[in-house]
Amino acid sequence: MKSLFPSRRKPPVQIPTDTQDLFAHLPTELIILVLEQLNTSSDIISALHVCRNWRDILLSPEIWPSIADRLAPGLTTHIRERNCSVNLHAQAKVFQSALNLHHLYQSGLFSHARHHVVRVNDGSFTLSKQVSVESGGVHSLAEVPGLDPLSEELHVTHVRLYSHGRIAWWPEAWHLPYFAVVDDLRARVRRMFLFPGQAELRGEDRRRGWKTALGEKLFVLGQEDAGVCVWHLERDEMKFVELPGGFDRCVVDGERLLFIGRRNAEVWLWDWAGEQGVREIDVAGDEPRYVPGPVRMGGQIVQGYPRPAPKWGLRFQDTDVKVDFILHPNDWRVIFVVTWDEVDLVVSEFYEGCMRARMVCPREHLAYRGMVRSRTDNAVHYLRTDRCDGRGGYVLMTAWVGEEPMCDAGHRGSIVSVCFNVHTSEFSALVHHASYQRTPAAHLWDGLLAVRVAGEDQNGLKPVVALLKPCDADEGNEATSQPGNPMPVRLIKQPSHNITPAEGNMTFVSEDGEIRPRAQSLHGMAHAFEAGGDARQAGTDAMKAEWLSGDDKTLVYVAGRDYTVWMFGEDGIPKEKKEVRLWKERFKNAIASTGAWNEGIVRRVR
């Protein structure tokens, strides 16, 4: 211990009786002992606000990595790999920022909320004209073949994709659009795209549908016989990609694309900055991860109604093996192949095209038991590889597994999420308790499962997004909400400079679940957010496909052309100059609200 922080070692001094000065004069060794007792992001933020000395110790390269891994396994590796070019002080600031965002999300302290209805003519977005018409950019709606911009009621508009603060949608009911719009929810900028040369085509070819994908930086439109157009959403540039064959899946991460061939599940990689073009990765080799063969597009089928889910995986037609792929978020040389053959859940790691590791989920693991139980709800399940935290975690499956208890707490009704972390190479499972008839649309982030429920107040029925805490058998005293129970809801009304968003009271309502599954009960509800739109219409209109998505800064609920977005952190601050100072003050107050020293920490140390 003497070699740790030698510059901070202090000679013995007479400790004053004033409490604030007491903390300032504690020896470094004792401060470290105190910090070792901190187990939550709220406690860490409290310690960061005690004094400058405590903050410097917490953010030192000797201390913050161990705290980060204790709070969130894999976070240290994720920060260091993603920020390897910056100094240690900057990495500590990234850790502090991740800590703040985690606390805001867990506490339900959104900085900005907005309900929106997508329209072809929308003055709340500024149309970007940086991409040339020759490169597929659309500068005027008059350039779009067959589109009447004055007839909004004729457009069957659906929001289809979300990624990193952007949504993609098109004014037609088909899954494959001929014309696509990408809206930046933070910058309020709209980009519109047509496949280059499409406006000059004749007849039905002018409205041909294209397969799509959206990532943090790239947007994709393409088909096998015409090629693939990739637009860089930050550089406003386009590149054309030719693939060796037809594809049924495109995975996007950063500036990389992974295509899965339709005929034999071939794997093709492409990098925006790379000069090698399309590279094929042999994932079969001497020890094949699966038997090559034709694949079918994923999606979850519930009573014949296909739920739009662009991040669902694929299924082999001949063997019924489910397969999907993960691009490593920090290392462009690494990909993961995930397979589920109803017997084993396997994740294979490939480094520069060669298999480096093979992880099989143990059959006694809760994750494996969740996979097996998920087959009993009479639905067709596919793997999905969606990020579920900001530290290398991916959810592979979320499914309602019935009323029988799934965990030691003994609660009835369980939704199981099976996860895999690319940094720790470990499987995990989270159990959330709620009663459904089948798997609902859900979104998992940082352990909280977002599901859509209904609330009723004096104005009628309204959609509500509930965030459920994972089951903890040691804390089995969480309340269960039943239909008819009061439900405190954080309103969509934008919060003022106060710390907590405005709240109201609604009654929890269980809707008719013939078209979509609705909750009959909820257990361990952390927060409930009011969403915009009409819950009754969203629940009965089959054209209004519902889904949830998000990340560490955003939560999005979509119902057809309606969507509600909640933003966390300073990225959600409106850009109007008059409001910037007020919102920054509120953000700092939200963090400082838990920064007031918590005497409970002192009691635990004693």
What secondary structure letter does DSSP report for 380? B
Answer whether residue 546 shows pLDDT above 80: yes
Most confident by average pLDDT, 198-202, 296-300, 468-472:
468-472
Dihedral sign, Cα of residue 248, residue 253, residue 258, residue 260: negative
Instruction: Specify the pLDDT at position 58.
Output: 86
Instruction: Specify the pLDDT at position 307.
Output: 44
Could you tell me if 234 and 183 are in contact, meaning their C-beta atoms sit under 8 angstroms apart?
A: no
Give the pLDDT confidence of 74-88 residue by residue, as tens digits: 888 888 888 776 677
Instruction: Specify the pLDDT at position 57.
Output: 85
Give the pLDDT confidence of 265-293 residue by residue, as tens digits: 889 999 998 877 899 888 865 565 677 88
| Main-chain phi, psi angles of 170, to 5 degrees | -150, 150
Residue 547: both structure tokens together? 């889904």
Give the pLDDT confidence of 159-218 residue by residue, as tens digits: 889 999 999 998 876 667 888 999 999 889 999 998 886 655 545 555 667 888 999 999
Task: Give CA 496 to chain center in angstroms.
Answer: 26
Q: First and final CA of the chain: distance in angstroms?
A: 20
Which is more confidently placed, 584 or 559?
559
Instruction: Specify the pLDDT at position 534.
Output: 63
* Percentage, residues of the chain above pLDDT 70: 76
What global pTM score does this model have? 0.86
Instruction: Specify the pLDDT at position 79.
Output: 86
| Main-chain phi, psi angles of 453, to 5 degrees | -125, -175
Instruction: Specify the pLDDT at position 376.
Output: 59
Rounded Cα distance between 390 and 103, Å, is 13
**SS3 (DSSP) at 345:** strand
Task: Give CA 583 to chain center in angstroms.
Answer: 24
Instruction: Specify the pLDDT at position 156.
Output: 67
Instruction: Specify the pLDDT at position 302.
Output: 34
Dihedral sign, Cα of residue 481, residue 449, residue 543, residue 506: positive
Could you tell me if 550 and 443 are in contact, meaning their C-beta atoms sit under 8 angstroms apart?
A: yes
Rounded Cα distance between 299 and 315, Å, is 10
Give the pLDDT confidence of 417-435 residue by residue, as tens digits: 999 999 999 999 999 998 8
- Dump the DSSP string for 482-531: -TTSEEEEE-SSPP-SSSSPPEEEEEEEPPP-SSS---SEEESEEEEEE-
| Main-chain phi, psi angles of 8, to 5 degrees | -100, 0
Instruction: Specify the pLDDT at position 15.
Output: 46
Give the pLDDT confidence of 342-367 residue by residue, as tens digits: 889 999 999 988 889 999 999 999 99
**Mean per-residue pLDDT of the chain:** 79
Mean pLDDT for 16-38 is: 69
Using pLDDT thresholds of 50, 70 and 90, give the confidence band for residue 557.
Answer: very high
